[in-house]
Structure 1
Amino acid sequence: MRLIQVALRAEDLARATAFYTDLLGEGPTATYDPPGLVFFDLDGVRLLVEQGAEPATLYHQVDDIDATFARLRDAGAEVLGEPHVIFSHEDDTLGPAGTDEWQAFVKDTEGNIVGLVEQRPSGS
């Protein structure tokens, strides 16, 4: 089994498209409006931004959590949690052993929660 698609709610499709284009660094792969569907490619998994879908939480791995968080905050995203360590990876069950998992949270323009994740060497 392989995850193929994740859906997020959009109240304003253009506004949501702009937010995810900025966050992901590239535009949508397909738009169908009507009925109000915008697709982005997340390394082979479709991110569907859909009018009328339920709100969701989606976690994105980023190279620099501080810079990404600052960019989103400065663009007006509602801050739910500043970058902080969630836990340390003692083994490689959920991430590289010897790293700390940093996370931060904002709301997108449509009320979905966006989790940002970076793994840094422990203690850095």
Structure 2
Amino acid sequence: MVDLERATAFYSALLGSAPVARFDPPGLVFFDLDGVRLLLESAAPSALLYLRVDDLELAVDRAGEVEIVSPGRPIFTHTRDALGPAGREEWQAFIRDPEGNLVGLVAFRDPAEIKY
């Protein structure tokens, strides 16, 4: 990671919440994602991360001026509750955070409510 402050500001905006802990030095920032920790570390390599969001378009808008690698689109419909709720479409969008990491954004939608 090149700029920990920039990454912290990006994820604060994207997630709509502030970090829960910061340790500087050594350059660690933690976010709480409903019991799962997101760690930003100044010395860490790039990673791929999938974040569940309620509103895909709103999340992309909150991310600000970032590269949109792939706009939101339906990927598949869940037939069982393994990765998401059965009967719901999984939509994904991909963006790059300011540090160049690819971030997958995932939302579940009821096919009956979607207007194509």
- Asked if TM exceeds 0.5, the reply is yes
Percentage identity across paired residues of the two chains: 55
- Aligned partners of 2:14 and 2:60 also within 8 Å: no
Q: Matched residues in 2 for 1:59 and 1:11: separation?
A: 21
- Among 43, 51, 59, the alignment partner of 2:42 is 51
SS of equivalent residue, structure 1 residue 19: helix
Q: CA deviation at 1:32?
A: 1.2
Matched with 2:32 is 41
Structure-2-length-normalised TM-score = 0.90
SS of the residue 1:105 aligns to? strand
CA 33–41 in structure 1, closer or farther in 2 if over 3 Å, else same:
same
Deviation (angstroms), 1:120: 0.5
- Write the deviation string for residues 69-89 of structure 1: whole angstroms up to 9, x where unpaired: 2332xx211111000011111
Matching residue of 1:63: 54
TM superposition score normalised by structure 1: 0.84
- The size of the alignment, in residue pairs, is 113
Query: What CA distance in whole angstroms lies between the structure 2 residues aligned with 1:31 and 1:56?
Result: 20
Q: Deviations over 1:55-74 (max 9, x none)?
A: 111111111111212332xx
1:27 aligns to what?
18
- Runs of 5+ unmatched residues, structure 2: none
Residues of 2 paired with 1:45 and 1:97: CA distance? Answer: 23
Post-superposition CA distance 1:78-122 (Å, at most 9, x none):
111000011111222221111110000000011111111111012
Structure 1: gaps of 5 or more residues: 1-9
Root mean square deviation of aligned Cα: 1.3
2:85 is matched with which residue?
96
Where does residue 5 of structure 2 map in the other structure?
Answer: 14
Shift of 1:20: 0.8
- Residues 28-55 of structure 1: CA deviation (Å, up to 9, x unaligned): 1111111111111111222110012111
> Structure 1 runs of 4+ off > 6 angstroms?
none
